[in-house]
């Protein structure tokens, strides 16, 4: 079982009303305008992170970390870190 994400907690069954047709099929979902705006704000805020370019960069970063291609930086070695980045 995976841990819940923010989107999983954005809505729960108390936030929506499901409308069924005569055959019992779900036809509409109603939610408050406040919840609708909250969902739009979430999408706008996080859409960048789900773009193809960002996902590819995150994958490369994960590969670099797994391969040990990184250094630890603190205030005492910032110049060395910048040299490493540009070298």
CA–CA separation, 20 vs 65, rounded Å?
A: 50
Whether the model clears a pTM of 0.85, i.e. scores above it, the answer is no
**Model confidence over 37-79: pLDDT tens digits?**
998 998 888 888 888 999 999 999 999 999 999 888 888 888 8
Give first-to-last CA distance, the chain, whole Å.
43
Where exactly are the structural domains of the chain? 1-50, 51-87
């Amino acid at each position: 079982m995976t841990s819940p994400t923010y989107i999983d907690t954005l809505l729960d069954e108390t936030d929506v009303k499901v409308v069924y047709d005569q055959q019992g099929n779900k036809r509409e979902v109603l939610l408050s305008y406040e919840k609708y705006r909250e969902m739009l704000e979430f999408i706008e805020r996080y859409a960048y992170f789900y773009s193809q370019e960002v996902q590819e960069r995150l994958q490369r970063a994960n590969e670099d970390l797994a391969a040990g291609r990184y250094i630890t930086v603190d205030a005492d070695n910032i110049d060395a870190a910048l040299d490493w980045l540009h070298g």
